Amino acid sequence: MIKLKDRLSVISDFAGGLVDTGYNLMDNKKIRRGVLGFLALIAILLPLFTSDRWLNVFWFALFYMLLAMGLNIIVGYCGLCDLGFAAKFAIGAYTTGILMKVFGWSFWLTLPVSIGASIIAACIIGGPTLRLRSDYLAIVTLGFSEIVRLTARNLQITGAASGLSGIKRPFFFGMQLNYIQHWYYVFLVLVILFILISFRIKNSRFGRALEYIREDEDAAQAMGVNTTMYKLFAFIVGTVMGGIAGSFYAVRMTHIAPSAFQFVLSANVLLAVVLGGMGKLPGVLLGAAFLALFPELFRNLKYVSDARMLFFGILLILVMINRPQGLWPERKR
């Protein structure tokens, strides 16, 4: 009999072969454009032939993709260990929620303020701490996330423990965004925008500097790369992307509370990045979609629904043992 370990090794080799084949096929421009066009067509037409329940699940997957791409700039591109991404998400959500609920601002006017608040927060936490590495940086970012959550829980302007409720949904060209179909398309556009930004960063001088820092920070510094500055820029970009996602989340849900920004959110987003393949954009998207969709597939199955997260955890362990580089890693050179 073939041992379980041997079976898993065969599956891992098969998955690796599929990824390599995918890379070779995507080298052809016609095939690449055809595949991307087909995926875009499915994404656009999806609300026409699916129920509202599953559309909510797909919206949740898009939301996780936004967060995962923001964290991928920090963890995947630059190699920093960030365990506090929920704080970046919370800053954008609370900035928009406070300005709309307390001061009566329009949602679209809150976005520049949310971006500014995210940049300030990134500089405050990143400036003095990005000289740290590995475990020390992880502990600092985790502590910062808890500070933000506990502060929001104890301030009157943030609604304390009950949070902010009754946040009005925005209007777009005179139409209020009330239905799940509206929000699905809004987040789909955001995902496409974040993909373009991530792709541009990956293939820029900035992205190459981040890759050098990720592979060997000491060697990069010896070659004249200002590692502290580039790490701070990566921290700012990732925080801004998380803040924008938080702003749209606040008006989508119309209610935000500190309980939504716990450590488990940061862990799940980091899991999506690591599971998909750190630094590889298709892998990050695949990891986020897998994390959001897989538990829902077993929600209504008898005898399985109550233990679906157990099976999910076992599957994650098997994947990380046999595919430590992720589901869609970088191309082999």
Q: Give the tens place of pLDDT for each residue, 228-256.
A: 889 999 999 999 999 999 999 999 999 99
- For residue 102, the 8-state DSSP code is T
Answer yes or no: are the C-beta atoms of 273 and 75 closer than 8 Å: yes
Higher per-residue confidence, 14 vs 43: 43
Answer positive or negative: Cα dihedral of 158, 160, 166, 172: positive
Q: Are 191 and 289 in contact (CB under 8 A)?
A: no
**Phi/psi zone of residue 282: left (φ > 0), alpha (ψ -120 to 50 degrees), beta?**
alpha
Those residues with Cβ within 8 angstroms of residue 315's Cβ, 6 or more apart along the chain or in another chain: 294
pTM of the model: 0.89
266 neighbors 83 (Cβ within 8 angstroms): yes
In the chain, which ranges are continuous DSSP H helix?
Answer: 4-26, 29-45, 52-72, 85-101, 107-129, 134-154, 180-202, 205-215, 217-222, 227-253, 263-276, 281-297, 308-322
As a whole number of angstroms, the distance between CA 96 and CA 213 comes to 34
Q: How far apart are CA 140 and CA 153, in angstroms?
A: 20
Q: What is the CATH number of domain 54-322?
A: 1.10.3470
Whole-angstrom CA distances from 240 to 25, 69, 201, 269, 302 are 34, 11, 14, 16, 42
Q: How confident is the model at residue 271 (pLDDT cuts 50, 70, 90)?
A: confident
- Tokens representing residue 104 in the block: 């009566």
Note whether 298 and 305 are within 8 A (CB): yes
Over 70: is that where the pLDDT of 22 sits?
A: no
Phi, psi angles (nearest 5°) of residue 204: -110, 175
Token pair 């009330």: residue: 178
Q: How far is CA 275 from CA 25, 30, 68, 161, in A?
A: 23, 29, 11, 33
pLDDT reading at 159 higher than 90: no
Determine phi and psi for 176, rounding to 5 degrees: -80, 135
pLDDT band at 169 (very low <50, low <70, confident <90, very high): very high
Q: Is the pLDDT of residue 310 over 80?
A: no
